[in-house]
Amino acid sequence: MNASSLPLLTRRTVPLLLTALLAACSGSGGNGDDGGSSSNTPRQGTLLNGSSCSLKYYAQAAASQGSGNDPLFPSQWYLQNTGSLTGYSGMRAAEDLDVTQVWNSLGARGEGIRVAVVDDGLEVTHDDLAPNVVEGASYNYISDGSWKRGSPWPMPCDAGQSHGTNVAGVIGARDSNGIGVRGVAPRTSLVGYNALQSGNSADALDAMVRDQDKNHIYNNSWGASDDGLFNAPTDGATHAKTIRNGLDNGRNKLGSIFTFAAGNGGEYGDYSVLDGNASVLGALPVCATDASGKRAVYSEPGPNLLVCAPSSGSGQKTASNLPSVSTTGLQNAYSDEFSGTSAATPMISGVVALMLQANPNLSWRDVRLILAKTARQVNSSSAGWTSYEGYHFNHEYGFGVADAAAAVAQARTWQSVGGSQTMKQCGPYNVTANTGIPEVNPVTDSQLANPFQNPASLNQPVTDGITSSVSPSTCTLNHIEHIDVTVTATNAAGTGDHPNPGDLQMTLTSPSGQTSTLTVPHQCYYVTNSTRTPVNACSGLKNFTFGLSRHMEEPVVATSGSSTWTLGVADRRAGNTGRLGNWSITFYGR
């Protein structure tokens, strides 16, 4: 696949559309090329998307806004979970975002905050979205006849492009208008960028910094294919630089917020930190729980995770009788089958919108710290939970499920740690190991297929393989916020790539005794649409960067005075031997 192609898999299942109504034009205006669909006030009957699209949208008079209760709100269990919903079983009351009191008691609904949906399209004319869509501020990345690149109509082109419209409804469907559903932040402003529809990675990067002086949050419910490979972003360093641009310059230098889906390959052993999009400095990776309060079977664990949000229960090979997510669908309709970390991510975008309304001066660093500090320790009996200085972490859940009420309350009185300008960096500290990795204690085929059977094992360092250490004793960071660990593994001769890094278990242990598991032995796949074909070997562990949230608030040098950070590696499958080559570690924080 060439560098200009975008190997992104939107994390979704195909939603069920409950009705099929013609979309009505909201009067949104243009900010791009002139053309039949890019005028601020297109003539009635003007085609708003491409002539080759199977779905057609035409300009019509704006629909009048009603009032009253949102009739589908009772089905939105993730906003208010009573423990029961007709047709479903196994739900647990209060496994939700705890958001209703934010609306009702604190009076926050996202007013004044703007969220950009970077996705495959956005039906900006949907009656339940149009009141919140910013006029003329969306951006179309497709050129097709009168549908000009730069027009403010990032419309879906076919029935398979419902994903962005689903996402937008979770974030900001209008409340109290007598129709449909409501969003987590039901009065937030919305814009849509259909960059994923173009298939060009440069468009996705452009979208993530477009109007960064106006947008507060960029929702990215997409990522690399859930195939188990060590997937660095297609554009490599350019992706990281784009995010850093937003952190440094967005929101008047307070920093843009970038939410990312953590991945849906958990059933198949995929691990979130292996998707470089979701672990780069500044990304806010979101995992998923189900309506019973457990890790959703598809949700990928990882040391990069920040927080989870409630989503669907069923995976690709594991069915459940738990509900999915109700939201807006195509052609003025609704879906009750939105799913995956794609659905969880916009919930966190909505929560952040509420936080920023409560305190517009929060920096991107503040947002991460508040979410981690106030997250609810879901499934508290799990053996995977560890604690440090009042923070709880679990490789399956990050710091827990986002608690909107607690996060907004904390945001109101939060003392800012500053933005990018005050963030300190130590490193990179470079290590040349060049050491053979022993094959020891091989895992079974069952363990390879499901490496997350024992959550506690993700907190345990490798002790029977090789270790390589670094001691950044002069680093004065007392509060880590992010760590980058960059690793290269080679073949046995040290002259080429490792023949199968999927055989490796790799851990990083801090001087305070906290362990991140960077990778586990797992199977890799070739994925096309919904079909998975096992491949003989994984690939990609060459200058690959693991971005970690797990050590948040730890000091680089422990209170005991120890400064040793230890990388442990073991090969857990026979054959395909190799070496640990070079590695480095970089710390960010205060």
Q: What is the pLDDT of residues 68-111, one digit of tens each?
A: 999 999 999 999 999 999 999 999 999 999 999 999 999 999 99
Diameter over CA atoms, the chain: 72
**Residue 47 β-bridge partners:** 58
Residue 491 in this model has a pLDDT that exceeds 80: yes
DSSP string, 350-377: HHHHHHHHH-TT--HHHHHHHHHHH-B-
Q: Which pLDDT value is given to residue 64?
A: 84
Model confidence at 1: pLDDT above 50? no
Q: How many angstroms separate the CA atoms of 336 and 69, rounded?
A: 18
Placement of tokens 């760590």 in the chain: 483
CA 381 to chain CA mean position, Å? 25
Residue 457 annotated among the catalytic residues of the structure: no
* 119 annotated active-site: yes
Tell me the pLDDT tens digit for each residue of 514-527. 999 999 999 999 99
SS3 assignment for 224-236: ECCCCCCECCCCC
Catalytic residue among 119, 127, 203, 275: 119
Q: What is the pLDDT of residues 541-576, one digit of tens each?
A: 999 999 999 999 999 999 999 999 999 999 999 999
For CATH 2.60.120.260, the residue range(s) in the chain are 423-589
pLDDT of residue 63: 81
Instruction: Answer for the pair 37, 151: CB distance below 8 angstroms, yes or no.
Output: yes
Instruction: List, in sequence order, every beta strand (DSSP E) within 142-220.
Output: 189-193, 217-220
Phi, psi of 172 (to 5 degrees): -150, 40
What average pLDDT does range 185-200 have in this prediction?
A: 97
For residue 505, pLDDT beyond 70: yes
pLDDT digits (tens, 9 = 90+) for 305-354: 999 999 999 998 899 999 999 999 999 999 999 999 999 999 999 999 99
CA 21-22-23 angle, to 5 degrees, is 110
pLDDT band at 61 (very low <50, low <70, confident <90, very high): confident
Band (40; pLDDT cuts 50, 70, 90): low
- SS3 for 497? strand
Q: What angle, 0 to 180 degrees and rounded to 10, lies between the N-to-C axes of helices 340-358 and 364-374?
A: 110
Neighbours of 361 (CB within 10 A): 12
Strand pairing class (386-388; 391-393): antiparallel
Please name every residue paired with 571 in a beta bridge, in sequence order, or none if there are none.
Answer: 439, 504
423-589 CATH: 2.60.120.260
Beta bridge partners of 239: none
Among residues 33, 4, 475, 18, which one has the least CA distance to residue 234? 4
In order of 13, 228, 386, 558, the CA distances from 380 in angstroms are 29, 28, 10, 27
Query: What does the pLDDT read at residue 236?
Result: 84
CA angle 369, 370, 372 (to 5 degrees): 65
How many whole angstroms from its chain centre is CA 324? Answer: 18
Whole-angstrom distance, CA of residue 374 vs CA of residue 408? 9
In angstroms, the CA 184 to CA 172 distance is 6
Please state, for a pLDDT cut of 70, what percent of the chain lies above it.
93
Tell me the CB-side half-sphere exposure of residue 26, using CA atoms within 13 A: 26
Reduce the DSSP state of residue 301 to 3 states and report it.
coil
Above 60 in pLDDT, residue 120? yes
Q: Which of 28, 127, 128, 163 is catalytic?
A: 163
- pLDDT cut 90: percent of the chain above it: 89
Exactly one of 37, 138, 342, 468 is catalytic; name it: 342
342 is a catalytic site residue: yes
The one-letter amino acid at 387: S
Please, what CATH class does the domain formed by 16-68+98-421 belong to? alpha beta
Nearest to 444 by CA among 543, 525, 521, 497: 521
Put the strands of the sheet holding 257-261 in their side by side order: 189-193, 114-118, 217-220, 257-261, 283-289, 307-310
Whole-angstrom Cα distance, residue 247 to residue 329? 32
Q: What are phi and psi of 504, to 5 degrees?
A: -90, 145
Prediction pTM value: 0.94
* Residue 283 near residue 547 (C-beta atoms within 8 A): yes
Residue span(s) of the chain under CATH 3.40.50.200 come to: 16-68+98-421
- The 10 Å Cβ neighbour count of residue 316 is 16
Whole-number pLDDT of residue 529:
82
**pLDDT tens digits for range 141-168:** 999 988 999 999 999 999 999 999 999 9
